[in-house]
Amino acid sequence: MKLHELADAFEHLEGTRSRVALVERVAALLRRATATERTPIVYLLQARLRPPFEQTEVAVGEKLLAQAVARAYHVSHARVAQRLARSGDLGLVAAELAAARLASRLTVHQAYDALLAIARVSGTGSVERKTSLLASLLSRAGPAGAKLVARVAQGRLRLGVGDQTILEAAALAALGDRSKKPLLEHAYNVRSDLGTVVDLAFTKGAAGLAGVGPEVGIPVRPALAQRLPSAEAIIARLGEVQAEPKYDGFRLQIHRRGSRVWAFSRRLEDVTSMFPELVAAARRQLVPRTAILEGEAVVYNPETGEFLPFQITMTRKRKTRIAEAAERTPVRLFAFDLLYTGRRNYLPVAQATRTHALRAALRASPDAPIAVTEARVIARPRELQTYFDEMIERGLEGIVAKRLDAPYQAGARGYAWVKLKRAYQSALRDTVDVVLVGYFRGRGKRAALGIGSLLGAVYDPRGDRYRTVAKIGSGLSDRAWTSLRTLLDAHAVPERPVNVDALITPDVWVEPAIVVEVLADEITRSPFHTCGRHDDEPGYALRFPRVVNAPRSDKAPTDATTEREILTLYRQQRRTPTEARPRSRNTRARGTAKRAPR
C-alpha cells in the first residue's frame, strides 16, 4: 500500500461522524492491508509507532517539526510560521508546501520504518539528526503523505478512532461479526499490544485469541473497581468480602524474568528507571524468578506510619535526578495481587487463592520496600464500616472490598472489586475523573491568564466517545491555571474533535488527552450537557465542580470516569439523600459568583 493511499483513508476517517460508518471504514482498511502492513497501520491509527510500554514515539515539538518542514521544501522558517499562524496545523502546512511536487511512490512500510528510525535517534546531536531525517521523509511523502507524517510526528492524528473502535472494526474484518469484539477485547486486556492482537485475530482467529495469556514484559491492563455508597450496599451485593486499604498512590505492575525487572504504570508506560529501589527489591523479595504482581506505590514513613499525599508520590515520576529523588522520597509498594508466575496464570483464579499465592511469592519483612497489603475477610456491614473508619483515621482514602471467588478482571470495571471512599459534605460521595475537551478564555482577572474555565467530559466506552458533564471554573491557583493552559494548548484543535459529543462550544477545543480529578456537590439533570442524554431528555452534570488534582498524568483519557458511572452515582445519591450533609450557602468556591450553564 502506498503512503498516500493510507493518508487518503485516514482523511476519510477524519471526516466521518457516524460511529457505524467509522467502524466499517476501519474494517475495510484492515482488510485491504497486507499481513505485514496490518500491524503498523493499527499502531498508526493509535497515533503511535509501537505499543505504549515500548515508548517508541517520534514526539517532536512544534519548533523542531517546523524546522523540518522548512528544510524539506526549501522555504524560510518565516514562511512556515506564517502558514502555521493561518491554519494552526503543521500537517496542513506540509501538505500545502508539498502540493507542487510529483505524486509520491513511498510505501506505508518505507514511511513507517523511517518514522521508527527517527523515533530511535538519541544521544549527542540527536536534534539535528532527527530534523534531517524528518525533512528527508517529508520531502519524499507527497502532499497527503506529508500531512500524515507531520501529524504522526506530533502524535496528533485527529481521527477520533479509539481502541474500542479499532477492536470492533477488527472483529468485523477478521472474524466477520462485530459482536465478536469481546474476544479481541479480552486478548487486548491480557496482552496490551493492539497491533499484535489484531494481527492474531486475522491469522489465528477466535481460537488464537482465546488462548492469549499474560507475558512477562508486556503489561496486563489493570482491573478497575466499581463504586457503592455504603458498607451495607457492599455486603448486600458481594456478600463476604476481602477488605483492603485504598492507598492514594501510584499503581504499578511489577514484572520479573530472572534478573530482568520491569515496572509499568496504569497507563502501560514503562517506568522501571523511575523506581530503582523497587526494581532491586523485586530481585531480592520475589520467590518465583518469573512473575507478575500488582500494587500501589506510596511515599511512606515507616517510623510514624504516615502516608504522604499523592502529589508527593507523583514527584517520583521523573526522568532526571532519579537517585536523588529515591533517597529523598523513597516509596513502598503495597502489593495486592499476583497475576502470573512461570508455573501458573492466576488471572482466572479466585481472589482468595491469588492473595494466598501472593503471600507465598513474596519474602516480606517490616521494613522491606515491597510489602503485601493487609487484607481482612469481613461478612458484616458494621464490621466493614469499622474497618473503613480505621483506614480513614490512618489517613487513607478508604477501602477496596473484593469478592472472594472473583477472577482478576483485566481491563474491566466490575463489581468483583468495589471501592468505598471517605464521604464529603455533599450528596456526591466521590471524586470524578474528567477528560478536558476545551476551555474558555475567561473574564476579569482570568482574562489575563488566557483561561477562565474548563469543559470536562466523561468516557462512553460503548460509543468510544467523550460526553460533556461539567464546566469547571474553580479549584486552581493562578499559577496552576497558567500551567494547565500550556498543557491544553499543546492539544488544541480548530474544531470539535470527532469523538467528542457537546452542546456547549468552548473558546478553544482540545483533543481528549488530559484528565483532572474533580469534586462536586452533586449530580443534577442538565439540558446543556450530553452525558446520559437521549433524544429530548436532558443530560447529567456536576453541580459546583472544582478541580482537586490536575493533571492526573497517571490516567489515560479512557481511564476517566465513564458515563455509566455518572448515572450510577446519580441514582445512589438520590437513594441516600439523608447520608449527605446540607451544603452551606458559603461553600461556593471563589471565582464562580456568576453562574454559567452546567
Q: In degrees, to the nearest 5, what angle opens at C-alpha 341 toward C-alphas 337 and 343?
A: 140
> How many angstroms separate the CA atoms of 334 and 355, rounded?
13
Classify 350 as helix, strand or coil: coil
Residue tagged active-site, from 2, 246, 421, 555: 246
DSSP string, 158-209: -----HHHHHHHHHHHHHS-GGGHHHHHHHHHHS--HHHHHHHHHHHHHHHH
Within 59-125, residue ranges assigned H as helices are 62-72, 77-87, 90-98, 108-119
Give the sign of the dihedral formed by CA 274, CA 58, CA 555, CA 596: positive
Contact 325, 318 (CB under 8 A): yes
Distance separating alpha carbons of residues 523 and 575, to the nearest angstrom: 13
Give the separation between CA 451 and CA 483, rounded to whole angstroms: 10
- Give CA–CA dist 475/550, Å, rounded: 10
User: Which grid cell sits at 233?
Assistant: 450496599
Provide the residue type at 587 as one letter: T
| Overall residue count recorded for the chain in this entry | 598
With b for 16 or more beta-carbon neighbours within 10 A and e for fewer, the 483-513 pattern comes to ebbeebebbebeeebbbbbbebebebbbbbb
- In b/e form, how buried is each residue of 315-335, taking b as 16+ CB within 10 angstroms? ebbeeeeeeebbeeebbbbbb
**Pick from 142, 5, 156: which is nearest to 72 by CA?**
142
* CA distance to 231, 498, 552, per residue, from 420 (Å): 8, 35, 20
For the question of residue 246 being annotated catalytic, the response is yes
Q: Under a CB-based contact definition with an 8 Å cutoff, are residues 256 and 282 in contact?
A: yes
C-alpha 596/C-alpha 544 separation (Å) is 10
**CA Rg value for the chain:** 25
Q: For residues 105 and 109, give the distance between their C-alpha atoms in angstroms, rounded to a whole number.
A: 11
The three cell numbers locating residue 431? 471524586
Nearest CA to 214 out of 256, 169, 249, 276 is that of 256
> DSSP string of 222-244?
PPEEEE-SSHHHHHHHH-SEEEE
Pair 507, 494: CB distance under 8 Å: no
Q: What is the 3-state secondary structure (H, E, C) of 388-401?
A: HHHHHHCCCCEEEE
CA atoms of 127 and 114, how far apart (whole Å): 16
Alpha carbon 440 to chain centroid distance? 24
Active site residues: 246
